[in-house]
Structure 1
Amino acid sequence: MMATIQEIALGKLQDELEQNQNVKDKLDGKTKNQTLCETRWFSRASALSTFKAAFPVIVSSLEYLQSKGDGKSGVQLSAILRFDFILPLVIVNHILEAIVPLTSMLQGVSCDLVEAVNECQTLIRVFENERNDIAVFNCLYDEAVELAEHFEIVPSKPRTTGRQRNRANPAVVGIQDYWRVTLYIQFLDHLLNELRDRLVNLVERFLAQMLLPNNLKSLNRDHQIRIFRDYESDLQSEDQFLLEIKRWVARWDIYPSKKPDQLCATLEMTPKELYPNIFCILQILLTIPSTILLNLSTSAKKRI
């Protein structure tokens, strides 16, 4: 059976990857492009990194497909061989790579949400510093220009007029400043707002993680009151909640060998009729991480 054009092109792609030592070094052992995942930023960052590293080889393979009569390849080439594609690729790849450790932590089997908030605040500080340091953007811009020059693509920006309704039209001089204001700063500001809204502003709610049996030794009166205040609308009275906490602590002192070490397992081992308040809190807490990541990823995808 004769090989299809796509199969031939895939073979050519693999051959070129083997022959292009520079690209191989950048790929760091990865040998194929990855599909984007709707809800995992780790996958999105990895896919962008692979695509960017293999960009010259991908272009060559698409050109080969086009020469064999594949019409879609020509459309794809036209879409990626543009400065307004290459610069966002470089910028977004740089920004998402910094988020990988945090997303990996949040999507792990065991997730310390309080520590995740601490890391989120660290990321916010890093992004704020980079936003205010023009040298960071200049380096990213130079990298994009260098990649574009390889394909004889001249840096450009959309035409601007005195009055513009359908796209950004800032009062800037020059192509580089245009992209810094309309792309780089806009994306960073959006991401900073999302990180604060989705994680940092929920720090009080994450204190409920102290109710996990392995964390009870660190649970003090202040924690208990703060947890109750944040979940108050879903709970019974404060006195009932605090009494429940006393029994909850005593329960795991009696059965230390049976302590679950994960949130889901703790919920499964919590009798709802005996500990209705704690059960309710754990149930709410269990829904937070995946909801945050889904909303955060979907929102960022619209910007990308």
Structure 2
Amino acid sequence: MTWRQTLARSIVKQYQWLRNLIGTEPSKPRIAGRQQLRSNAPASTPYEYYKRNLAIPFLDHINENLHTQFTGLAKKATSLLGLVPAVICSDPDSIDINEAVELYSTDLPSPELIWLEVKRWKLRYQRMDADARPDSPAAAIKDCDGTIFPNI
């Protein structure tokens, strides 16, 4: 069973519960031969009608928006959150900024030194108390000295 079918079944169960509570019978709208203002996929039951004409297009719309919003470029850019001092000091082995460094290498002053800077960046904040470390990108940028860490 696909995720669409699972979701459709759970929606139908909720609908049936509400229907029994109110005391109505399910019905599908009348279908004209030439429909212009809403979808008109043929269906034999009300469940099939609402699934084909409402649920599936709605879920496809949500799925497409999520894929558009979280593209490969966005994933690479969010990997830079690993440079936030609170993150880099908590679990330094889970941070992988290779793709982001490769993507932004033309914008960096000296991309060949980025790994040394990241190491110095991590050592700088490991010496601090955990409460004193910046825990947001804005605070990390504000605390970053551009002459010492030009690539970061």
> Quick check: TM above 0.5?
yes
Assess if the C-alpha contact under 8 Å between 1:208 and 1:227 holds in 2: yes
Return the offset for 1:222. 7.8
Write the distance in 2 (CA, Å) between the matches of 1:145 and 1:221. Answer: 49
Asked whether 1:162 is paired with 2:18, we answer: no
Distance 1:265 1:143, change over 3 A: same
Question: Percent identity, aligned pairs only?
Answer: 27
Match of 1:194 among 65, 73, 89: 65
Q: 2:86 matched to which residue of 1?
A: 214
Return the offset for 1:178. 1.1
**Root mean square deviation of aligned Cα:** 3.1
Write the distance in 2 (CA, Å) between the matches of 1:238 and 1:221. Answer: 21
Superposition TM-score, scaled by structure 1 size: 0.40
Q: 1:227 matched to which residue of 2?
A: 100
Return the offset for 1:273. 4.2
Distance 1:237 1:169, change over 3 A: farther
Superposition TM-score, scaled by structure 2 size: 0.70
Assess if the C-alpha contact under 8 Å between 1:148 and 1:154 holds in 2: no
5+ residue gaps, structure 1: 1-127, 279-304
Write the distance in 1 (CA, Å) between the matches of 2:120 and 2:85. Answer: 12
Instruction: Kindly provide the amino acid, as one letter, of the partner of residue 206 in structure 1.
Output: T
Asked whether 1:203 is paired with 2:75, we answer: yes
Q: 1:171 matched to which residue of 2?
A: 42
5+ residue gaps, structure 2: none
Return the offset for 1:239. 0.9
> Could you give the per-residue CA deviations for residues 266-299 of structure 1, whole angstroms, max 9, x where no partner exists?
2221124443432xxxxxxxxxxxxxxxxxxxxx
Assess if the C-alpha contact under 8 Å between 2:84 and 2:135 holds in 1: yes
Q: 2:55 matched to which residue of 1?
A: 184
Return the offset for 1:237. 4.5
Distance 1:233 1:223, change over 3 A: same
Count of residues in Structure 1 that have an aligned counterpart in Structure 2: 146
SS of corresponding position for 2:30:
coil
Distance 1:182 1:147, change over 3 A: farther
Assess if the C-alpha contact under 8 Å between 1:210 and 1:216 holds in 2: yes
Greater alpha carbon shift after TM alignment, 213-222 vs 202-211: 213-222
SS of corresponding position for 1:277:
coil
Assess if the C-alpha contact under 8 Å between 1:137 and 1:184 holds in 2: no
Query: 1:71-110 maps to which residues of 2 (within 5 A)?
Result: none
